[in-house]
Amino acid sequence: MSMEKSTGRRAFEWFEARLPIVSFIDNAVGSKYPAPKNLNYFWNFGSLAGFMLVTMILTGIFLAMNYVAHKDMAFDSVERIMRDVNFGWLIRYMHANGASFFFIVVYVHIFRGLYYGSYKAPREVLWWMGLLIFLAMMATAFMGYVLPWGQMSFWGATVITNLFSAIPLVGDSIVTLLWGGFSVDNPTLNRFFSLHYLLPFVIVGLVFLHIWALHLPGSNNPTGIEAAPADKIPFHPYYTVKDAFGLGVFLLFYFAAVFFAPNMLGDPLNYVAANPLVTPEHIVPEWYYLPFYAILRAIPDKLLGVVAMFGAILILFVVPWLDTSRVRSANFRPVYRILFWLFIINGLILGWCGSQLPEGLPLILGRVTTFYYFFFFLVLMPVVGWMETPKPLPASIGTPVLKAAE
């Protein structure tokens, strides 16, 4: 083999010396990023979330080329995309279902962080950046759902923006500012479109901060103990190939929805154009907001309901300090583990309550589950972490744990 460098190699090194972008990527998600060797498939969901963000931005750019942000034309322009734009139906169904699948992936990602204690020191700021992404996603998705200007778009926007009127003194002014007038109307649609296009790029910025914050301590792992250098393997090729496999599995589900059940997660009423004079019998938000919607409606007072709803998300920011346990992974916490799974089931029930009319059983169940939601964070997390005797931790990640990664 010749020791002489090829021209291509020299050109590459010339460029790398001036802008080391390839090394940057290699350090971030390549062969220079050592990751614990025992990560299980729950760790796939971070890269899946990144994939969905890119998918949403790309499909969104092409939709925006054909969408008209005007109250008299928005609905028609969406139908034109569905009928006359080349593969418009595909782009729109990928975008609409993509929102749901993005949330599925992100909820699993948050679930994984909670279960394995990935928020605990020294990863608190990493956790915060993730929560900021989650908040920005919720705002983006809400405004995106308004854009087709169907009945559910219009009335969902009316209900959700009205929540801000509960804020004392300045509430009404805030709502007027959000609306750009005195009801949900054309100015609302215009500013929502503008913000819906802006916020995804804010999310991209937050993702960079999220990954930056990840690389200082490195990835957590299912045991929750610090991984010794000997127990780490390069992200590339080991986790790139594992993520590729995970992506394939994920896409099977995503494409099954896009091509064979594209309206399964949507509301039929959003195929009726917005009509300010006809209020739907039952206004429900998209499924990914339902648990929080249930919390809002579980509380009889409007202001307190809004506080509880936002509090349900904001409380996640202080979870690193609410959890008093010395052990990260719930695998080694026999009591907490049960309470945690109860919390997940509780969240699913909350979601169901959010989809029902707030009366009878759904209302009572909504109140019980809202109570458990906050009880879990405010009481169980600190108290159990303090009282519980964790199972003995392994001395190192070692070989036996590798099997769990398969």
Our answer to whether residue 286 is catalytic in this structure is: yes
**From candidates 109, 112, 242, 333, binder to another protein by CB under 8 A:** 242
Alpha-carbon torsion, ordered 290, 257, 142, 54, to 10 deg: 130
Decide if residue 163 touches another protein (CB under 8 A). no
Decide if residue 68 touches another protein (CB under 8 A). no
Decide if residue 252 touches another protein (CB under 8 A). yes
Closer of 50 and 280 to another protein (Cβ): 280
Q: Give the position of tokens 């009319």.
A: 357
Our answer to whether residue 215 is catalytic in this structure is: yes
**From candidates 65, 198, 216, 261, binder to another protein by CB under 8 A:** 261
DSSP string, 120-165: STT-HHHHHHHHHHHHHHHHHHHHHHHTT-BHHHHHHHHHHHHHGG
The tokens of 71 are what? 């109250």
User: From the CB of 160, what's the least distance to another protein, in Å?
Assistant: 22
**From candidates 4, 18, 260, 392, binder to another protein by CB under 8 A:** 260
Decide if residue 281 touches another protein (CB under 8 A). yes
Decide if residue 262 touches another protein (CB under 8 A). yes
Q: Is residue 78 within a helix (H) or strand (E), and if so which, with residue range?
A: helix 74-83
User: From the CB of 256, what's the least distance to another protein, in Å?
Assistant: 5
Decide if residue 264 touches another protein (CB under 8 A). yes
- Residues 197 and 1 sit within 8 Å (Cβ to Cβ): no
Closer of 111 and 375 to another protein (Cβ): 111
Our answer to whether residue 242 is catalytic in this structure is: yes
SS3 content of the chain, % helix, strand, coil (to 5): 70, 0, 30
Interacting stretch for another protein, rule CB under 8 A, among 4-12, 77-85, 114-122, 296-304? 77-85
Task: Give the integer Cα–Cα distance in Å for 285 and 296.
Answer: 12
User: From the CB of 104, what's the least distance to another protein, in Å?
Assistant: 11
DSSP string, 265-310: TS-GGGGSB--TT---SS----GGGHHHHHHHHHSSSHHHHHHHHH
Decide if residue 245 touches another protein (CB under 8 A). yes
Among residues 220, 226, 262, 4, which one has the least CA distance to residue 124?
220
Catalytic hit among 219, 231, 323, 325: 219
Residue 185 has what DSSP assignment?
-
Active-site amino acid positions: 215, 219, 242-243, 286
Footprint of another protein (CB under 8 A): 37, 76, 79, 82-83, 89-90, 93, 233, 237-238, 241-242, 244-245, 247-249, 251-253, 255-264, 268-269, 271-272, 281, 402, 406
